[in-house]
Structure 1
Amino acid sequence: MEIDVGKLIKEAREKQNLTQEQLAQKVGKKRSYISRIEGEEGANIKLKTLIDIVEKGFQGKITIEL
């Protein structure tokens, strides 16, 4: 099963009424980076970056279960 991480990030960002610029500032990245992650590069996101976006950008947590 493949998960579209970029789409999930975009949906979470929009749900919290954040612009790409606002999310980028919270995470310490450029807006263009967030745009790329939400688009084609979402499948290639590093786990560290995903954790930063979820924790710093959305004040959430990621749980990984095996």
Structure 2
Amino acid sequence: METNKDERIMNCTTLDELLDVQYGKVGTPERDEFDKETQAFCLAATLKEERLRAGLTQEQLAERIGTKKTYISRLENGKADVQLNTLFRIFEGLGRRVSLTIL
């Protein structure tokens, strides 16, 4: 069974095909979970990148927005969910703005 999956993976020519084989088609529980984790990872990576670009430590950013360093760390490591108003505060503290697109 695993060899068949390996063969299917090797025959993929697009990222979408690879994701379908590895995590299932869009709309399946496994794929939905993967997509959710991917979005959290991207947000965490963006937050860390912008904090570093601003030249701030996690502690400095936390002080600037009135939260704790541990919360910033958990966000950057994808271990915590963030409320929208907190997300806006964080990026304002970094001198950035957040823009949302609804698809």
Normalising by structure 2, what TM-score?
Answer: 0.56
Q: Is the 8 A contact 1:6 1:41 kept in 2?
A: no
Equivalent of 2:76 in 26, 31, 38: 38
Equivalent of 2:66 in 11, 15, 28: 28
* Runs of 5+ consecutive residues of structure 2 not aligned to the other structure: 1-34
* Aligned residue in 2 for 1:49: 86
User: Matched residues in 2 for 1:46 and 1:61: separation?
Assistant: 15
Which has the bigger relative contact order, CA under 8 A and spacing at least 6? 1
Shift of 1:40: 2.3
Q: What count of residue pairs does the alignment treat as equivalent?
A: 64
User: Matched residues in 2 for 1:10 and 1:20: separation?
Assistant: 9
Shift of 1:41: 2.5
Normalising by structure 1, what TM-score?
Answer: 0.82
Counterpart of 1:62, as a letter, is V
1:60 paired with 2:60, answer no
User: Matched residues in 2 for 1:47 and 1:12: separation?
Assistant: 17
Shift of 1:60: 1.9
User: Matched residues in 2 for 1:6 and 1:35: separation?
Assistant: 9
* Aligned residue in 2 for 1:8: 46
Q: Percent sequence identity over matched residues?
A: 36
Q: Which runs of 4+ in 1 moved over 2 A?
A: none
* Runs of 5+ consecutive residues of structure 1 not aligned to the other structure: none
